[in-house]
Amino acid sequence: MTEKATFAAGCFWGVEDTFMNLSGVVATRVGYTGGHTDNPTYADVCGHDSGHAEAVEVSFDPTIITYNDLLNVFWDCHDPTQLNRQGPDIGDQYRSAVFFHSDEQKRVAEESLERLDASGRLRKRIVTRIEPAAVFWEAEKYHQKYHAKNSGGCGF
């Protein structure tokens, strides 16, 4: 039996690449979530009117990799102190967010954030939002497994 986890941590190409090869991850797909526009396109999301974040939906086998393990990878793969940006990518679609699929995931995510905050590892305040998972709108086909299809390149 697999479970789902959904994370937003900047450009979804790199985030998907981070998760897709982990032992216990069965599948990944990139898309848009957390906003108010139905069937958004990449242009809609980049236009800052949809409210959606670029996100990665991870299907995983919890007997091999735990949700907490995935959260640890999430915290390590981006800067959770940057508001609405990651590196050179700026905009609300690049926000840091955990979209939980159950009360248990919410609890584990909140505890994980508190542990990271208390660790003193980060010098700034964590701005990651923890929100209920909403409809996940799959991104256009050319975005799926982008790094794998393009030798890790970013296309610019």
What are the pLDDT digits (tens) for 31-63?
A: 999 999 999 999 999 999 999 999 999 999 999
Please report whether residue 46 resides in a domain. yes
Query: Is 154 an active-site residue?
Result: no
According to DSSP, the β-strands at 3-9 and 53-60 are antiparallel
Please report whether residue 10 resides in a domain. yes
Phi-psi region of 94 (alpha: psi -120 to 50; beta: other; left: phi over 0): alpha
pTM for the full model? 0.94
Please report whether residue 154 resides in a domain. no
Number of domains in the chain: 1
CA angle 12, 16, 21 (to 5 degrees): 170
Instruction: Give the span between the Cα atoms of 110 and 130, in whole angstroms.
Output: 7
Please choose, from the candidates 48, 110, 113, the residue with its C-alpha nearest in 3D space to the C-alpha of residue 80: 113
Which domain covers residue 7, as residue numbers? 3-149
Stretch (H or E) spanning 68: helix 67-76
Q: What is the mean pLDDT of residues 120-149?
A: 95
Q: Is the pLDDT of residue 106 over 60?
A: yes
Of the candidates 11, 46, 77, 154, the residue annotated as catalytic is 11
According to DSSP, the β-strands at 137-138 and 53-60 are unpaired
CATH number for the domain including 144?
Answer: 3.30.1060.10
Please report whether residue 155 resides in a domain. no
